[in-house]
Structure 1
Amino acid sequence: MKTKHWCSERNERFIADMTWDQVLHARLMGAALMVPVARPYGLWRDWLMTRASEHRGSKLLWDSIALISFQVPIYAAIIAFSGASGDGMVRGTLGAALMMLFLGRPYGAFLNVVRKLFGLPPGGDKLMSLNS
């Protein structure tokens, strides 16, 4: 996770051209949103991963689609609310989408390891429910 934070911070400061104060605001807001969006993201990822075949490329594609389609809009809202605008907003959002394209499958594999530790099936095998 440290790598993701480092990349996001650099994305906000140097690609989106935000000030350090705006970067701090965005990081604090992102940290506060991590917990409430975790469950919806897990459900979203599970639903999309049911479309993946057993092939490695298919899992890579669907994990990347899940991360990009869910997290990029949230990220765009965070940096907009933190002060990014215009060209910086577009560059920052595209930079984040590019990072998530490459981080989608490693992050999804990490989530599956965590699920295994708690005796849950990997994402896409069975939709998770609070009642199961």
Structure 2
Amino acid sequence: MNDSGGSVGKGKERICFLIADVSAMVLFSTALCMGIEIFIAKLTFFQSVTARIAAIPVNLVTGRPYGLFRDRLFLALGIDGTKPWKMILGDTLAFVIFQVPLYVIVLLCAGATWKQIFLSSAFMSVVFSLAGRPYGIFLEFCRRIAGNLARKL
């Protein structure tokens, strides 16, 4: 039995999944938010890039906690990937429950009024609901790549 090799392997796997979760959050949030900012809010490309650069620290800090939150929620709800409707429900719930409070905090820090926070959060709840499953699919894709990489290391 090789405990040290196993624990080293687990350590590499944890690091790979941390990188996968953070990368997925940064890439997906950048693409989603740039689309909203440029095509709906009519920001210029450079304004959107500036906003996305400013958002990277938040994505770096929240990427892995979101992945762990999603995993625990799926476990609690008995979601194992065998029923597509459960995957849709689980990803939608996870994304909304995790992201809306963060969005409220960002708006509070930006000095928004409670009315602005309510209106923005209501709109973003719809966006987050629609984005939940696509993000879950992208996160699983990133994790598969990370798992393959961890096995090769």
User: With structure 2 as the length reference, what TM-score do the two structures score?
Assistant: 0.62
Residue 113 (structure 1) aligned with residue 138 (structure 2): no
User: Alpha carbons of 1:24 and 1:95: their partners in 2 closer, same or farther (altered >3 Å)?
Assistant: farther
Residue 70 of structure 1 aligns to which amino acid in structure 2? F
Structure 2 residue aligned with 1:104: 132
Greater gyration radius: 2
> Over residues 41-88 of structure 1, what are the superposed CA-to-partner deviations in whole Å (9 max), with x where a residue is unaligned?
110000112222521111100111111111110011101211221321
Name the count of aligned residue pairs: 111
Deviation at 1:8, TM superposition (A): 5.0
Residue 61 (structure 1) aligned with residue 86 (structure 2): no
CA contact (8 A) 1:72 1:96 kept: yes
Aligned residue runs from structure 1 range 7-18, under 5 A:
9=37
Residue 40 (structure 1) aligned with residue 65 (structure 2): yes
User: Alpha carbons of 1:109 and 1:58: their partners in 2 closer, same or farther (altered >3 Å)?
Assistant: same
CA contact (8 A) 1:49 1:62 kept: yes
Residues in 2 aligned to 1:85 and 1:33: alpha-carbon distance in whole angstroms = 21
User: Alpha carbons of 1:102 and 1:3: their partners in 2 closer, same or farther (altered >3 Å)?
Assistant: same
Q: Which has the higher helix share?
A: 2
Structure 1 residue aligned with 2:55: 30
Residue 77 (structure 1) aligned with residue 102 (structure 2): no
User: With structure 1 as the length reference, what TM-score do the two structures score?
Assistant: 0.71
Deviation at 1:4, TM superposition (A): 1.4
CA contact (8 A) 1:67 1:100 kept: yes
2:117 aligned residue (84, 89, 98): 89
Residue 86 of structure 1 aligns to which amino acid in structure 2? W
Residue 80 of structure 1 aligns to which amino acid in structure 2? L
User: Alpha carbons of 1:76 and 1:9: their partners in 2 closer, same or farther (altered >3 Å)?
Assistant: farther
Deviation at 1:13, TM superposition (A): 5.7
Identical columns (%):
27
Residue 37 of structure 1 aligns to which amino acid in structure 2? T
Consecutive unaligned residues in structure 1, runs of 5 or more = 15-22, 121-132
Aligned-pair Cα RMSD in Å: 2.7
CA contact (8 A) 1:30 1:78 kept: no
Residues in 2 aligned to 1:76 and 1:25: alpha-carbon distance in whole angstroms = 20
> What stretches of structure 1 move > 4 A for 4+ residues in a row?
23-29
